[in-house]
Structure 1
Amino acid sequence: MNDNDLDPAALVSNPFSTRFISPTTVDYLFPKGTDAARLVTKLREADWWGQIIGPHGSGKTALLHSLAPLLEEAGRRVELCVLHDSERRLRIAQRTKSGWNRHTQVVVDGYEQLGWFSRVMLKRNCRSRGAGLLVSAHASVGLPAVWETETSLELARTLVARLLPQQRVSRITAEDVSCAFSAHQGNLREMLMSLYDVYEERSGGADDQG
């Protein structure tokens, strides 16, 4: 049963609204044989330092949010920093940095946005206080490899199937997903956003925009 079957709001809202497809809302889908717990173990074995790499829209942010509660359960105090385009330095108060210790897990989403000096200072701050450092980037930044996110048409179809309420599944076809996946060159985030309009057109434009 699709979780949306039990959610009345899902039946009157567009399942591709931002509130449903946000990386903080959508769980990262692991391939068989791997799960978030294994990645936490791998990170622990690397003394809590590591990188998650992958192309745009492949689930890096969703994965970091999926890992956060497990890191907390492992005794880590997560300090999540999200960097957007053109942000060259972290906006972290010195008071916050002073509180970092061996239980702190600094997590930086979009690490490649940082300038060289900011990266050096971040690593120095983490090492001097014994804090862990987990980052996401589009290519390797030289930290121990924790995971590499990838996209596929099969994964895209699974994501769409999870989002669609059973009663509305016919509004998005397998061909719709295939075309959107190809048009956005495998970027799952952009693909899901593009399906919003397709769903709206077949719903008569009655659904809200969340």
Structure 2
Amino acid sequence: MSVYELPAGVPSVRLTGRFITPDGRPLTGRLTFAPPSVLTMSDADTISHTAAVVEIRAEDLGRFAVNLIATDAPGISPRGWTYLVTERLKGAQMREYPIMLPERHGGGAVDLADLAPVSPYSGRYLPVVGPTGATGPQGAPGEVSRVELEDLEERMAPRPVTWTQGHASSLWTISHSFPYPPAVRVFDTSGREFGGRVDHPSSSTATVQFAFAETGMAILS
């Protein structure tokens, strides 16, 4: 894990962090810290271009460290800017969010876990079933046939559909016939569920975006 020192006269903040799975396995991937396209530091006679990229390799055990230009460094232009952090981790959903790194942090390292936002829960809640009520009187027979009822049920509550991605790709495009944007759960070839960014670009298409090319299957419901 290489950490570069910034030139003398450029105020910096050391940012650290660690990425693991819920069962403790370290993650690998890439972090990008993007400021405005060009930073001009007249006091230090320095110009900074593009973004800082940090690779998290297997031997890093999920940890990283990087020295970044302080967002409130004196004599810097533009003023009042933030870094756009992009997380691209193997098997995890890509995330983007802004952070500020003021110079007051320069006395010690800052952990990304203290700055990154918490992702909202997007799964399914377990319904709690209450006690069974008393049986009511039987109603009059309706005029809808059993076949019509089954067809209505199929259209109103479609059964889950399994879709397989046979070749590795960082973007899965899934066609479906659901009458609504379906929920999408993603699994790798060993059956382990993992994350991806799900979008619904049309009424009959769902896409899943990954940081790396993946194979596996998706269950739509």
TM superposition score normalised by structure 1? 0.26
Larger radius of gyration: 2
Bigger RCO of structures 1 and 2 (CA < 8 A, at least 6 apart):
1
TM superposition score normalised by structure 2? 0.25
- Greater strand share, 1 or 2? 2
